[in-house]
Amino acid sequence: MEAAVDLSAQRIAAARQSIAANAVLTPVIDADWLGSRVGATVKFKAECLQRTGSFKVRGVSVRLGGARERFGPGGVVAASAGNHARALAYVAARAGVPCQIFMPSTASVSKITAVQAAGASLALRDESVDGCLEHAREYADANDATFVHPFDDAGIVLGQATLGAELLEQIPEMRTVVLPIGGGGLAGGVAAILKQVDPTIRIVGVQSELCAPVADPERPVDDLRFALADGIAVKRPGALTAPLLDRYVDELCTVDEDAIAEAIVALMQHGKLVVEGAGAVSVAALLSGAIELDESEVVIAVLSGGNIDLDRLSAASRQHESSQGTTIHFATKVPDHPGGLAALLVAIAEGQGNVLSIEHLRDAGQRGFHETRIEILLQTRGFEHREELLRSLTEDGYEIVPLAPEAAQRPR
């Protein structure tokens, strides 16, 4: 199977020419803030700044090749959770090729609108990506269209491998490369190129623990509809990509949803980069200590995409604030008479808490006679201030009931 993917130097050179019209040379960015935390030199390959917002435009550019006559009258068709669809719609429009896309109805809104904006025909299905793939194949057969698989395709893998060729030129001193693994097109292609040039380069693949068929094949796949790393939520690698992963990827690890959320926020806060969940798993693995590093290592974390909806970005930010002790969401009760709520707010102000939101629920159940339930979100300066404020409110007679589990207790 592996021989079916020709990743020779000549083919890579030709692929780089093919992608030039649609893709850009993405920058390598020093990540001193992360390096100081993990004890190594860390740099980012920022594919989140790539056209269409992810590395996927590379593979699609090679697969389509810009020649309309290569495809039937039905054009091209694909199924995807978003980034492959967005890239195919973009490249097909530039090549003048009709494009049909099937996506899960739970796909990112920003990815759905981007596919539509590119002019592709879009069909949403209440199914997984695997189910959408079947619809895409059926459409191809019925409409004389060319099916473009998101990863299990020689042209797609060849295109993704161009990222590895760029890394060799941009950072020849790299010793460890950390990559997300979904279907294996990116990780397999990049790992193969790097290992063929320098077998001592360490390749680490990262998957979400919700869906880790390579790193943890015995773990059942959870409900993936709302996974942060939806872009790599693939139930199995491809027949072409699996042998590449087996041969060239040295280590595998998984990260949980909390770690991914923390990485998204850290990249935004410290790196000034907007990165989606699948694109942030490499940083999540580094931040969580899942990868052992030597201080002399030059580590490359590939940020594979940046297409994230604002609601998920906001949710990740809220989770981060809770984990840092800078917010607390709780319920309490106040006397249901004039001045009852005001007294609570005075107590909070005296404790230097900042009210972010408040709900006055007079009709809520489980309250005493002449009492009103208050649900309030406060901003604090951190764990110590939060605990001091809650202690003060309790001493003033307010019963504090947390409304959600505190995601992060005080770090040990």
Condensed to tens digits (0 to 9), the pLDDT of residues 318-332 reads 777 777 778 888 999
Within-domain flag for 127:
yes
Q: What is the pLDDT of residue 404?
A: 67
Q: 275, 297, 318: which is the final residue of a domain?
A: 318
Question: Residue 316 corresponds to which tokens in the numbers above?
Answer: 């990740």
Domain of residue 95, residue span: 57-147
CATH code assigned at 339:
3.30.70.260
Task: Among 286, 318, 350, identify where a domain stops.
Answer: 318
What is the spatial distance between Cα 370 and Cα 29, in angstroms, rounded to a whole number?
Answer: 59
Q: Which residues pair with 180 in a beta bridge?
A: 206
The pairing of beta strand 298-303 with beta strand 41-46? parallel
Which pLDDT tens digit goes with each residue over 110-159?
A: 889 999 999 999 999 988 888 899 999 999 999 999 999 999 999 999 99
Query: How many domains does the chain fold into?
Result: 3
H-only helix segments in 198-292:
241-248, 257-269, 277-287
| Residues facing 402 on adjacent strands | 330
Is there a single domain that holds both residue 276 and residue 383? no
Answer yes or no: are the C-beta atoms of 42 and 263 closer than 8 Å. Answer: no
Number of Cβ atoms within 10 Å of the Cβ of 96:
9
Query: 171 with 294, same domain?
Result: yes
Task: Please report the pLDDT score of residue 412 as a whole number.
Answer: 32
Q: Are residues 20 and 91 in the same domain?
A: no
Longest dimension (CA), the chain: 81
In 10 A of CB 294, how many CB atoms?
Answer: 10
CATH number of the domain residue 267 falls in: 3.40.50.1100
The answer to whether residues 182 and 303 belong to one domain is yes
pLDDT band at 228 (very low <50, low <70, confident <90, very high): confident
107 pLDDT band, cuts 50/70/90, is: confident
Tracing tokens 């800078």 back to the chain, one arrives at 326
Q: How confident is the model at residue 362 (pLDDT cuts 50, 70, 90)?
A: confident
Residues whose CB falls within 8 Å of the CB of residue 174, separated by 6 or more in sequence, listed in order: 43, 167, 201, 298, 299, 300
> Do the domain assignments include residue 412?
no
Beta strands in 152-247 (DSSP E): 176-180, 202-208
Helices 154-170 + 185-197 axis angle, to 10: 50
pLDDT at 37: 94
Q: Which of 147, 175, 203 is the last residue of a domain?
A: 147
- How far apart, in whole angstroms, are the C-alpha atoms of residue 191 and residue 160? 10
Residue 91 lies inside a defined structural domain of this protein: yes
The fraction of the chain above a pLDDT of 90, given in percent, is 69
Give 246's contacts (C-beta < 8 A, 6+ positions apart).
none
Q: What is the spatial distance between Cα 194 and Cα 197, in angstroms, rounded to a whole number?
A: 5
Regarding predicted confidence, which is higher, 155 or 365?
A: 155
Terminal Cα distance for the chain, rounded: 49
Dihedral angle sign, alpha carbons of residues 314, 316, 319, 324: negative
Question: Does one domain contain both 284 and 305?
Answer: yes
pLDDT value at residue 226: 61
CA–CA separation, 154 and 158 (whole Å): 6
**pLDDT bracket for residue 312 (50, 70, 90):** confident
Which pLDDT tens digit goes with each residue over 172-216? 999 999 999 999 999 999 999 999 999 999 999 999 998 888 988
